């Protein structure tokens, strides 16, 4: 790949993250750090009710407070709702009023925006806003909401905003003739992505339009939406990415709050800023998961899967999210319920059900952590029914390397790799064969230990074809890159993918430096800016940066390299085949003194854009990373405490650009998966009040709860994209639910099919267990 024969490529090496010195020493520049002289601050007055009619709004007392500049409700804002086109069948995508307009549909929905000289004054004035509500029946249970007789969250529409079925045929016959059929209900809690930096936006008038800085994973989508709703030409809305303190999907959406801030800046002619606080983030930014999945699973006497008959019910909350709509999980979970296994027959019904809860959106893994939790629990349960070893039943069902590529019932085209090899590697590393004996010894000593296995395959780097096919038509699916050559031979690089902590300032530079034969420090990876180059893109989500961002970078560097060589060939009167790019100059092989540098090329260029190159990219195929996680736990049967004593991961994310960054992604995602398995849960009361609204009650895992991760790699380059990467941002979240529930079930000879594993439920299980003695 590299033009420089002498130097070892940067790709494949653990180059230290170039962004870390800045980020770790407090020199990062997050939205709240940006200079914004004279900026006004917004506070949102949010509905205390899950479901109510707004009878009257009195803003006068708030407006009268000194330091308050403007107070608006929906009527005062005067903007239409945020509409998200979704063309999936049996689907209604509800419009989202920017401020609640006559009706509130979840506790935390913004009703009034207060603009003041300081955030303190804005909050003081918020307390003076008087809103009279007439509360109506709140739906906080999606099963009840799915009943056709239930009150409608959106008048005139059944609460199942998306309701689809699939049937491969043959399911009933398989169920009737199988050696074993199990039926179980699986529950996954509602989760918050919880980036360390909450949402935040700064908007200021610029020229005929606006400049916006937002802590967003989707700057291009934000620019499109703001231009459309504020009726501005797209060219006048500029969105620039600051440093972003984590996203994990919750910032992959365009939010009503961002648009309101932009509208107020335009109206007031002054910079306007909103920095979300943690209570708002937990209450009103998008949530995720929250599913009930019921499956009948059939297998033959050898444990080979015959059929799944599944009912997937996703509590999607009061609205969809932009640009993904309301179908993210209801589409993703049944789409991957088959997992990495052969499944002859499959039938499902999947629904996205509206309730009076915060809207559900993307969170690392999107639908797939629930799918993996379900298929891994089913593997364990079937093994137990058939008295088979849990590793053996997986071996018998995993799709073999020579069966790939393979297209599943739901149209996933598993691309490459060796799922069985990942399983065997993880089992060998944890010394699986000795565990049964270790467990017996521990039991004899009054200690309960267990082991859990979790295999998955996931899709990443979703392309245009797939988004269009899903009906998510507001997502372009493509990404772009822009390169600009400078006099010193270095290049500046822009992409449509904001860095959200995953190190693309380093990995993108590694790719570009190798392609152009440059030293790393001569590649400047700039923050996304919607006015640089004619760039359009989707944003940082679906583990797409390395695949689609990488693809766009390879395409643009190819063009740049060709132009440099072509022009140098003309200037040097040399054959292109004899030219090499190195250190920002073109050299003639075997004639070290004959070289032409970037400054000369730029001077001689026919037009000023010759060395400013933009390229769009769409991948040919979606990529399918996979892994096996195996963990050991010790359970305290009296307290219900679960300690993870070992955690082994064997994963394949395709061609690795930077091993250390890959391991960081795997560890971070696995930590979040462990949080969902043991600790985290957004809980609503029956009347739709969030009762876990702070980090005192919404429990994130800390270093004290996490094991050391032992990470092992397989590497099968992805065949469907030029970087060969499979995407590694999310996979780690998929496996912990199944691995930990499996291990705790094993330790207690019990069966846990709902997360998180609350201590009270874990402690209740051993009541049926005969122990040799108390611990």
Partner 1 sequence: MKPAPFDYLAPQSVAETLQLLARHGAEGKVLAGGQSLMPMLNFRLAQPEAVIDINNVAELSYITREQGELRIGALTRHAELERSPIVAAHWPLLTEALRWLAHPPIRNRGTVGGSVAHADPAAELPVALTALDARFIAESHRGGRVLDPGEMFAGPLQSGLEPDELLVEIRVPAVPSPSGCAFVEHARRHGDFALGGVAVVLVRDGDRCREGGARIVLLGAGPGPRRVPEAEALLAAGPVDEESARAAGEAAGRAAEPPSDPHADAGHRRRLAVALTRRAVLQAWERA
Residues that bind partner 1 (CB under 8 A): 119-120, 123-124, 127, 277-279, 638-641, 679, 681, 683, 691-692, 694, 696-697, 699, 701-702, 704-705, 758-760, 763-764, 774
For 313, the token pair is 């019910």
Distance of closest approach, residue 119 Cβ to partner 1, in angstroms? 5
Task: Report whether 753 contacts 377 (CB < 8 A).
Answer: yes
Distance of closest approach, residue 251 Cβ to partner 1, in angstroms? 19
Distance of closest approach, residue 247 Cβ to partner 1, in angstroms? 21
Closest of 485, 650, 720, 553 to residue 11, by C-alpha = 553
- Tokens 């690089």 found at: 493
For 246, the token pair is 């984590």
Q: Inter-axis angle of helices 390-397 and 419-429, to 10 degrees?
A: 160
Q: What phi and psi, each to the nearest 5 degrees, are found at residue 58?
A: -120, 115
Task: Report whether 290 contacts 187 (CB < 8 A).
Answer: no
Distance of closest approach, residue 288 Cβ to partner 1, in angstroms? 18
Residue closer to partner 1 by CB (options 386, 758) is 758
**CA–CA distance, 296 with 259 (Å, rounded to integer):** 45
Distance of closest approach, residue 192 Cβ to partner 1, in angstroms? 14
Distance of closest approach, residue 691 Cβ to partner 1, in angstroms? 6
Instruction: Tell me, rounded to whole angstroms, the distance of Cα 104 from its chain centroid.
Output: 28
User: Which residues have C-beta within 8 Å of that of residue 661, sequence separation ≥ 6?
Assistant: 14, 17, 502, 503, 506, 507
Residue closer to partner 1 by CB (options 90, 702) is 702
Report the b/e string of 697-723 with b at 16+ CB within 10 A: ebeebeeebebebebebbebbbebbbb
Indicate the pairing of strand 209-214 with strand 237-240.
parallel
**CA–CA distance, 113 with 59 (Å, rounded to integer):** 10
Residue closer to partner 1 by CB (options 277, 431) is 277
Tally of CB atoms within 10 A around 437? 9
User: Which residues have C-beta within 8 Å of that of residue 542, sequence separation ≥ 6?
Assistant: 366, 459, 460, 461, 462, 727, 730
The residues that bridge with 114 in the sheet, in sequence order, are: 43, 71
Residue closer to partner 1 by CB (options 540, 692) is 692
Cα first-last separation, the chain = 60
**CA–CA distance, 81 with 556 (Å, rounded to integer):** 38
Residue closer to partner 1 by CB (options 183, 638) is 638
Tally of CB atoms within 10 A around 155? 7
Residue closer to partner 1 by CB (options 196, 704) is 704
Residue closer to partner 1 by CB (options 121, 218) is 121
Distance of closest approach, residue 352 Cβ to partner 1, in angstroms? 25
Residue closer to partner 1 by CB (options 29, 705) is 705
Tally of CB atoms within 10 A around 38? 8
The residues that bridge with 293 in the sheet, in sequence order, are: 186, 312
Distance of closest approach, residue 764 Cβ to partner 1, in angstroms? 8
For 227, the token pair is 């231009």
Residue closer to partner 1 by CB (options 275, 449) is 275
Residue closer to partner 1 by CB (options 103, 758) is 758
Distance of closest approach, residue 147 Cβ to partner 1, in angstroms? 25
Distance of closest approach, residue 771 Cβ to partner 1, in angstroms? 13
């Amino acid at each position: 790949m590299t033009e420089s024969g002498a130097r070892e490529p940067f790709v494949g090496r653990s180059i230290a993250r170039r962004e870390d010195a800045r980020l770790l020493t407090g020199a990062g520049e997050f939205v709240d750090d940006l200079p914004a002289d004279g900026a006004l601050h917004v506070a949102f007055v949010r509905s205390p009710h899950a479901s109510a009619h707004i009878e009257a709004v009195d803003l006068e007392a708030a407006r009268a407070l000194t330091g308050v500049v403007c107070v608006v409700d929906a009527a005062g804002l005067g903007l239409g709702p945020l509409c998200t086109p979704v063309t999936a069948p049996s689907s209604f995508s509800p419009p989202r009023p920017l401020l609640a307009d006559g009706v509130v549909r979840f506790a935390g929905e913004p009703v009034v925006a207060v603009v003041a000289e300081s955030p303190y004054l804005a909050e003081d004035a918020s307390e003076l806003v008087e809103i009279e509500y007439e509360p109506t029946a709140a739906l906080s249970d999606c099963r009840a909401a799915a009943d056709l007789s239930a009150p409608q969250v959106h008048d005139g529409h059944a609460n199942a905003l998306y309701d689809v079925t699939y049937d491969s045929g043959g399911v009933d016959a398989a169920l009737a003739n199988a050696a074993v059929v199990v039926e179980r209900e699986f529950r996954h809690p509602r989760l918050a992505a919880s980036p360390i930096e909450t949402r935040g936006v700064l908007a200021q008038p610029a020229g005929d339009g606006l400049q916006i800085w937002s802590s967003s994973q989707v700057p291009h989508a934000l620019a499109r939406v703001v231009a459309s709703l504020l009726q501005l030409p797209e060219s006048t809305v500029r969105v620039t990415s600051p440093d972003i303190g984590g996203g994990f999907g919750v910032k992959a959406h365009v939010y009503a709050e961002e648009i309101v801030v932009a509208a107020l800046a335009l109206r007031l002619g002054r910079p306007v800023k909103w920095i979300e606080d943690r209570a708002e983030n937990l209450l009103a930014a998008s949530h995720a998961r929250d599913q009930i999945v019921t499956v009948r699973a059939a297998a033959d006497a050898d444990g080979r899967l015959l059929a799944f008959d599944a009912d997937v019910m996703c509590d999607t909350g009061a609205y969809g999210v932009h640009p993904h709509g309301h179908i993210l999980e209801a589409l993703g979970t049944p789409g991957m319920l088959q997992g990495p296994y052969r499944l002859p027959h499959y039938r499902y019904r999947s629904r996205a059900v509206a309730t009076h809860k915060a809207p559900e959106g993307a969170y690392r893994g999107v639908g797939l952590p629930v799918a993996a939790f379900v298929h891994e629990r089913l593997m364990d349960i079937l093994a137990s029914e058939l008295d088979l070893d849990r590793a053996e039943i997986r071996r018998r069902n995993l799709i073999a390397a020579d069966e790939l590529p393979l297209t599943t019932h739901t149209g996933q085209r598993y691309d490459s790799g060796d799922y069985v090899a990942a399983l065997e590697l993880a089992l060998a590393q944890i010394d699986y064969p000795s565990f049964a004996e270790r467990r017996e010894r521990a039991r004899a000593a009054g200690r309960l230990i267990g082991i859990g296995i979790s295999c998955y395959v996931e899709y990443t780097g979703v392309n245009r074809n797939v988004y269009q096919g899903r009906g998510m038509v507001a997502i372009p699916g493509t990404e772009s890159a822009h390169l600009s050559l400078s006099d010193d031979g270095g290049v500046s690089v822009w992409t449509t993918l904001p860095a959200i902590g995953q190190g693309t300032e380093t990995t993108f530079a590694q790719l570009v430096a190798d392609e152009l034969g440059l030293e790393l420090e001569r590649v400047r990876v700039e923050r996304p800016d919607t006015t640089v180059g004619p760039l359009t893109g989707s944003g940082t989500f679906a583990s797409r940066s390395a695949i689609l961002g990488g693809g766009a970078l390879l395409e643009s560097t190819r063009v740049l390299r060709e132009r440099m060589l072509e022009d140098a060939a003309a200037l040097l009167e040399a054959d292109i085949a004899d030219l090499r790019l190195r250190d920002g100059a073109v050299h003639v092989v075997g004639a070290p003194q004959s070289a032409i540098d970037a400054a000369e090329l730029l001077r001689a260029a026919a037009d000023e854009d010759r060395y400013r190159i933009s390229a769009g990219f769409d991948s040919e195929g979606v990529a399918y990373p996979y892994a096996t996680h195996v963990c050991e736990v010790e359970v305290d049967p009296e307290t219900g405490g679960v300690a993870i004593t070992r955690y082994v991961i064997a994963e394949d994310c395709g061609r690795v650009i930077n091993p250390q960054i890959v391991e960081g992604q795997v560890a971070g995602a696995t930590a979040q998966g462990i949080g969902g398995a043991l600790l985290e849960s957004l809980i609503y009361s029956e009347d739709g009040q969030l009762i876990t609204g702070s980090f005192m009650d919404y429990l994130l895992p800390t270093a004290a709860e996490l094991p050391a991760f032992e990470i092992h790699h397989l590497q099968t380059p992805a065949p469907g994209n030029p970087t060969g990467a499979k995407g590694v941002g999310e996979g780690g979240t998929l496996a912990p639910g199944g691995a930990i529930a499996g291990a705790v079930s094993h330790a207690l000879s019990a069966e846990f099919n709902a997360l998180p594993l609350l201590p009270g439920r874990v402690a209740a299980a051993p009541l049926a267990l005969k122990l040799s003695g108390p611990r």
